[in-house]
Structure formats: structure tokens, C-alpha cells
Amino acid sequence: MVDSPIVHWFPGHMAKATRMIQEYIKKVDVVIELLDARIPRSSANPVIIELINQKPHIILLNKVDLADPAATKEWTEFLASKGITVLAIDSKSGKGNKALIRAVEQLSKPIIERWLNKGIRSRSIRTIILGIPNVGKSTLINSLAGSAATRTANKAGHTRGQQWVKIGKNMELLDTPGVLWPKLEDQRAAARLAMTGAISDDVYDLENVMKQLLGHLKDNTPEILVERYKLKPEEMENLDDILENIGRRRGCLVSGGIVDLDKARRIVLADYRNAKLGNITLDTVDEEPYYVEE
Ligand SMILES: Nc1nc2c(ncn2[C@@H]2O[C@H](COP(=O)(O)OP(=O)(O)OP(=O)(O)O)[C@@H](O)[C@H]2O)c(=O)[nH]1
């Protein structure tokens, strides 16, 4: 549960971001939306469809190298079954770039046809990359542009610059990605956004978020906890035991032999983010939607 409000996205910021995204979208023919393959539902912006305003739209499930391949297949099939153009990519390695360019070309065919009918022959298809903080927008732009022109960072909220970058023969990409706000009113999504690093580490309740992550690991992949932290079955009775014993194994002790639980929590969180606990997708296709209590 994320207890404290997320300072970056109070209503004033959201209104400004909405205006900016709407301005960007007016300038492009095709919108590329980046989601985190580990949390395709939680990393989607709540109002993206309205913002896109019926422009052709591609969804990219990014960081696929960190996600569970079977879950990625399910998500890809699920989204495709809704008529959405969807690709799974790893923008760090550039895997999927060619497929993305092909998908943009495919979606642009009717637009190019309309242009040709009007006698316009030399115009490029313009695109923009949209997504919540830290989802990999700059990494993808750099990878597509084949240079390090856009700064990437391992912290949320760090994207700059603005110009069109030529990709292939007939495509131009705005080198400034559109930063969307995450789904923070949905507490389940907010916790998962925190787990995957989309929300800055200083604005959520680590204890609460880690209770949920450890609960997920205990219920779904207890064998990974056993293997990674050398836990014995009797050390895994409940979440408090698990955390305390991980802390002991990892030497997170303060004076008097007491375990520094926050240190243990951070170790597990870093291990999850770096896929040291395996490739774990948190959002499942068939999960009940989360309802915000009135
Ligand atoms: N493993 C993995 N890491 C990735 C991938 N794409 C991006 N990253 C990492 O995710 C972090 C964030 O990437 P950025 O490209 O800075 O993300 P952004 O969406 O531009 O972030 P903001 O500027 O905060 O909006 C960096 O540490 C990247 O190296 C991927 O496909 N796989």
C-alpha cells in the first residue's frame, strides 16, 4: 500500500502533463505506448485512450527480459485479441526494434494512402513514445536512434531534449518522450509500481510494499526464496519470519543481534528489480480489477 501521496503527480502536474501530451499527440500520426511487461495493467495510464484521441496506437511491453515469458505471451495474446497492435521488446538490447518499425509502417498504410490521394509524397510518419516514469522511454529512443543523444537514468523523472529523430526511411520520432502519470489511485497498482521502480523510492511506504511483494513470492514462488536466501521450511511460517531470516542470512544485524528489517527489505526489493528472484510478472491477465473504495 502506498501511504504517502506521490508528490510528482498532484492534480496541477497532471493537468500540465495532459496539456503537453495533447500538444504532442496533435503533431504525430502514430502513438507508441510503453508498458512494463512485468505490470502491463498497473503501468498503463488511466486515461491514455482519451489522450490518444483515436490515433493509431501501438503498445510495447518493455523490459521483457525481466518478465515471465509465459505471462508475456498471455498478455500479448490478450491485448491482440482486443484488436491492439502489441509487441514485446527489450529496449536495452534493441531486440524488437525492427518489428516495431514494421508495425508502425503497417499501421500507417491508410494514412500514407490518404496523403498520396492528396498528392503528398514526401512526408514522413511521425511518432511519439509515451509512458510512465522509468518504463524505458529514453532507452528505447536511444536504441532506435542508434545514439546516446537522449539521456537515460536509473531514477524516475529524468527525460529531456526535443527534436525529431529520423528512424529508417520513412519514420520520424519525437526525441522527447511523453511522460504519463501512473495509476496511483489504484493501491494494488501503486504498490506494484513501487516494486518495479516506477515510483521514486522516497515517496512510498517500504514496509507495506515489501509485505505485498514477499506475500506474492511466498504464495507463488516459495522455492525461489528458499534457494536465493537459503531459508529452511520452518523459517518461512509467515512474512515476518521470512524477512527476519533473510536479514540474518544477509548479515543485516544491528547491535544486540537485532535484524535491520529495512535493510533486509531493500535487499529483496533490489533482487526483485534485477530479476535475481527469477523473471516474475506481477499483473496477471485474469486478475479481478481493483476497485477504489468510495
Ligand atoms: N532490463 C531492462 N532494463 C531496461 C529496459 N529498458 C530500460 N531499462 C532500464 O530502465 C531504467 C529506466 O530507463 P529510462 O529509459 O531512463 O526510462 P524513462 O521511461 O525514459 O524514464 P523517465 O525519464 O523517468 O521518464 C534504466 O535503468 C534502463 O537501463 C529493458 O528493456 N530491460
Evaluate: CB of 148 within 6 angstroms of ligand 1: no
73: Cα within 13 Å, side-chain hemisphere: 3
- Report the CATH fold assignment for 7-179: Rossmann fold (3.40.50)
DSSP 69-118: HHHHHHHHHHHHHTT-EEEE-BTTTTBTHHHHHHHHHHHHHHHHHHHHHT
Evaluate: CB of 61 within 6 angstroms of ligand 1: no
Evaluate: CB of 66 within 6 angstroms of ligand 1: yes
Q: Which CATH class is domain 205-273?
A: mainly alpha
CA of 281 to the centre of ligand 1 (A): 17
Whether pTM exceeds 0.95 = no
Evaluate: CB of 43 within 6 angstroms of ligand 1: no
Evaluate: CB of 182 within 6 angstroms of ligand 1: no
CA of 18 to the centre of ligand 1 (A): 22
Evaluate: CB of 136 within 6 angstroms of ligand 1: yes
C-alpha–C-alpha distance, residues 168 and 191, integer Å: 39
Same fold flag, 7-179 and 205-273: no
Evaluate: CB of 279 within 6 angstroms of ligand 1: no
Evaluate: CB of 149 within 6 angstroms of ligand 1: no
Residue 149: per-residue pLDDT: 44
Nearest-CA residue for ligand 1 atom 32 is: 63
Neighbours of 114 (CB within 10 A): 10
Nearest-CA residue for ligand 1 atom 6 is: 136
Evaluate: CB of 72 within 6 angstroms of ligand 1: no
- Cβ within 8 Å of residue 287, ≥6 positions away: 41
Q: Would you kindly state where each structural domain of the chain is located, as residue ranges?
A: 7-179, 205-273
Atom of ligand 1 nearest to the CA of 157: 24
CA of 138 to the centre of ligand 1 (A): 7
Atom of ligand 1 nearest to the CA of 179: 25
Place of cell 522516497: 202
Place of cell 543523444: 149
Atom of ligand 1 nearest to the CA of 159: 23
CA of 182 to the centre of ligand 1 (A): 15
Residue 56: per-residue pLDDT: 95
Residue 292: per-residue pLDDT: 53
Helical (H) or strand (E) element with 224: helix 222-229
Residue 15: per-residue pLDDT: 85
* ipTM of the prediction: 0.99
CA of 256 to the centre of ligand 1 (A): 40
Evaluate: CB of 281 within 6 angstroms of ligand 1: no
Nearest-CA residue for ligand 1 atom 27 is: 154
Task: Output the CA angle 261-263-266, nearest 5 degrees.
Answer: 110
Evaluate: CB of 5 within 6 angstroms of ligand 1: no
Residue 122: per-residue pLDDT: 84
Per-residue pLDDT in tens (0 to 9) along the chain, 294 residues: 555 544 456 677 788 888 999 999 999 999 999 999 999 999 999 889 889 988 999 999 999 999 999 999 999 999 999 999 999 999 999 888 999 999 999 999 999 999 999 999 889 999 999 999 999 999 999 999 875 444 344 345 444 446 899 888 889 999 889 999 888 888 899 999 999 999 988 888 999 999 999 999 999 999 999 999 999 989 998 999 999 999 999 999 998 889 999 999 999 999 999 999 999 999 999 998 776 555
